[in-house]
Each structure stands twice: as C-alpha cells, then as structure tokens.
Amino acid sequence: MAVMRDLVRSVQPLVDLVYPPRCASCGAAIAAQDGLCLECWSTLEVPVIAPELGAAGKGLVPIYAATYYNDTSRKLVLAYKHGGRIALSQLLARLIAARMPEPDGTFPPPLLVPVPLHRWRLWHRGFNQAALLAQELARMGKGEAEVSALVRYKRTPNLGGLGRDERERVLRGAIRLDPAHVEKLRGRDVVLVDDVLTSGATSRACIAAIAAAQPARIALACFAQVDADHRFENP
C-alpha cells in the first residue's frame, strides 16, 4: 500500500498534465491545484461568532473554526482525507489560519498539537490529516507544530451514533500525552488542531490530556465544525 502511494505521489506532476486541476468539491475545472471553484467558495459557511467548547476542568475553550460542516466543506474534507488530495492541506490551513489570532510577540508562540491517529489508522491512511494541518499552520506563522505530543493508545470505533456517555466510555484512556512532552507544554499556549470537530468528545479527551501538563491556555483550531443541532457520521 505504502509503496503504491509513494509511486502515485512520484508521478503526480505527470498526472496533473493529463488531468488538469479540478475543484475539490464539485469537480469543475479550475486554475490552481489546491482550490475550489468560485461557486463552491460562496457556499462555505464561516462562523460569525467564535464558538466555544465546554471542557471539564478547563471551562470554555475557544474554537477557531474555518467553516461550518456543510456539503461543500464535507466534500473538501473527504477529498483531503480519503481522495488523495493531500495538497488541500494548504487551502484548509489557510482558512483556519484566517480565524486564529496573531501570536503575541512577547510570549513564546503557541504549540500546535494535532489530534492523534492510532498507528494502524496512520499506516492505513499514510498520513495524519490533523498533523499536516498543524505543520501548515506552523509554516504560516501560527505557532510551533508538536505533532507527537498526543498519542492514541486505543483504536476507537466511529463515534457517530453513540450517545455522549458511550463516547466518553469508548475514549477513556484512548488519548494520552506523551510523557516526553509534559515539560514542553507546561505554561505554554496550546492549540489543539483537527480537521473536523463533530461531537467534541475526541477534542475533550485531547484537552483533558493536554491540561494535565498545565499549559497557560488551550484553544481548538479546526477546518469544519459540525453545528450542534446536526449529527454526522465521522467522515
């Protein structure tokens, strides 16, 4: 699998010559390799008010969400995660970065910590979509990427369809802070990075793990936030 993926990536420029860039949502021909057509751009829904996530022990955690999860953002995420459009990480990160505050020059920059994948899923997919976003955000000056600060020890099933208690039971002990990162996170601002924020159960598990290191502040950055009134399967 991995060999095949590497092969596909190595011939990508050739593929681009034969197959010109397409809108990641509707498939219309576009100029740039990592973009959306104008029509799809206009259907992205940007949260007007910065939302917050209730997390035990940390109060409300600010959420920097680029968009609400709708048909267009769902297609973007699917193309990015499962459709081999890894270059979309730049577009998604750019939209997230636009929602994040400028780092305060007088303090160390925030640490950008991605939601971890279990190693089997990482092997299967070939990349952690949240880690790529954290690295892009770091390149855009939004902080320092710490891609291995959180570790997923347990393989968890799709959380869609589970009740709140059940989700928390499944996630218990699943995500922990890497002991080698505890000192690094202490007293620092930490931004948890994910592609999609669904029920918030996974984010809460990550925030609880990060909080154990006693950081200064915790925030959450994601590309698409599922509206609380809607329930989607984990894409």
Identity at 103, one-letter amino acid code: P
The backbone torsions φ and ψ at residue 113, rounded to the nearest 5 degrees and listed phi first, read -115, 115
Give least dist CB 96 to Zn ion, A.
20
Which is closer to Zn ion, CB of 37 or CB of 87? 37
Least distance in angstroms from the C-beta of 25 to Zn ion? 4
- Is 39 or 52 the residue whose CB approaches Zn ion more closely? 39
Q: Is 72 or 128 the residue whose CB approaches Zn ion more closely?
A: 72
Residue closer to Zn ion (CB basis): 64 or 80: 80
- What is the binding site for Zn ion (CB under 5 A)? 23, 25-26, 28, 37, 40
The CB-of-32 to Zn ion minimum distance in angstroms stands at 12
Query: Closest approach of Cβ 84 to Zn ion, in Å?
Result: 18
User: What is the chain's length?
Assistant: 235
Provide the minimum distance between the beta carbon of 45 and Zn ion in the complex, in angstroms, as a whole number. 15
* Residues 191, 61: Cα–Cα separation, whole Å: 10
Cα gap 222→196, rounded to integer Å: 6
Cα–Cα distances in angstroms (integers) from residue 165 to residues 1, 11, 160, 162, 189, in the given order: 36, 47, 13, 8, 29
Question: Quick one: 26 or 122, whose CB is closer to Zn ion?
Answer: 26
Closest by alpha carbon to 58, among 169, 220, 207, 199? 207
